[in-house]
Structure 1
Amino acid sequence: MQDVLKLEMREPVRVDPDRLVELCVSMGEMRAETLITNAMEDLVKGMIEIENAYIAQNMDILTCQADHLVRTADNIGMTTFSRVADDVATCGRLREGVSLAATLNRLQRIADRSLSAVGDMQEFPA
């Protein structure tokens, strides 16, 4: 009998720490922290909306939500998340079923890791 090898999909996520610093400088630490926290909550909700739209095969809602994720992630320096969300939007617009499924799975993996990375970086000095 042959061994079954399970491949683990891992890729590095990129978060722009300069963007977080820029937000802190321009808004103040408390306001920046609130903005980042709210953005992260929006990203989580957006991921749920995208999954629901995918299940319902509503590509208009899916692409609209993916575009919103791109803007939100860009705003707080989540560059990998933003890029992959843009890939999901493109696949949704093109109605590319297999590509969309694969890219959406990739976005889910990236979202988990990106949100954790920003959460870890969000520990602002007092």
Structure 2
Amino acid sequence: MQDIVKLELREPVRVDPDRLVELCVSMGETRAEAMITTAMEELARGMVEIEDAYSAQNMDMLTSRGDILVKTARHIGMTTFARVADDVVSCARLREGIPLAATLNRLRRIADRSLSAVWDMQNLPG
């Protein structure tokens, strides 16, 4: 009998710390933190909306919400999240079911880790 190996799908996420610093410099630390927190809340809500659109097989809504995720993630330096969300949008536009399902699963993993990474960076002293 062969052993069953469970693959752990874990890829590094990239958050652009320079973008976070740029926001703090241009807006002031307090305003930047508030904006980043709001953006992270929007990303979390957007993920729920994308899940709902996927469940309903509403590709127009999925692409619309996905485009907003991409812009929001880029704005706060969540480069991996933005790239994978863009991949989801591309699959939805092409109506490619299996690639869409796989890419959406990848986005779920990346979203959790990216949001945690930005949250951790915000809580660093200094």
TM range (shorter): over 0.9
User: Is the CA contact (8 Å cut-off) linking 1:39 and 1:72 kept in structure 2?
Assistant: yes
- The normalised TM-score by structure 1 is 0.98
Structure 2 distance, partners of 1:125, 1:8, is 32
User: Which ranges in structure 2 are unaligned for 5 or more consecutive residues?
Assistant: none
Per-residue deviation, 1:75: 0.4
Structure 2 residue 73 is the aligned partner of structure 1 residue 73: yes
Number of the residue aligned with 1:37: 37
| Superposed CA RMSD | 0.9
Report deviation, 1:124.
Answer: 5.3
Q: CA deviation at 1:125?
A: 3.9
Instruction: Write out aligned runs for 1:22-33 (5 A).
Output: 22-33=22-33
Q: Map of 1:101-112 to 2, 5 A cutoff? A: 101-112=101-112
1:33-61 deviations in whole A, cap 9, x for unaligned? Answer: 00000000000000000000000000000
CA distance in 1 between counterparts of 2:123 and 2:103 reads: 30
CA deviations on 1:61-84 (whole Å, 9 max, x unpaired) are: 000011000000000000000000
Query: Gaps spanning 5+ residues in structure 1: where?
Result: none
Kindly indicate whether the alpha-carbon contact (under 8 Å) linking 1:29 and 1:124 is maintained by their aligned counterparts in 2. no
Q: How many residues get paired?
A: 126
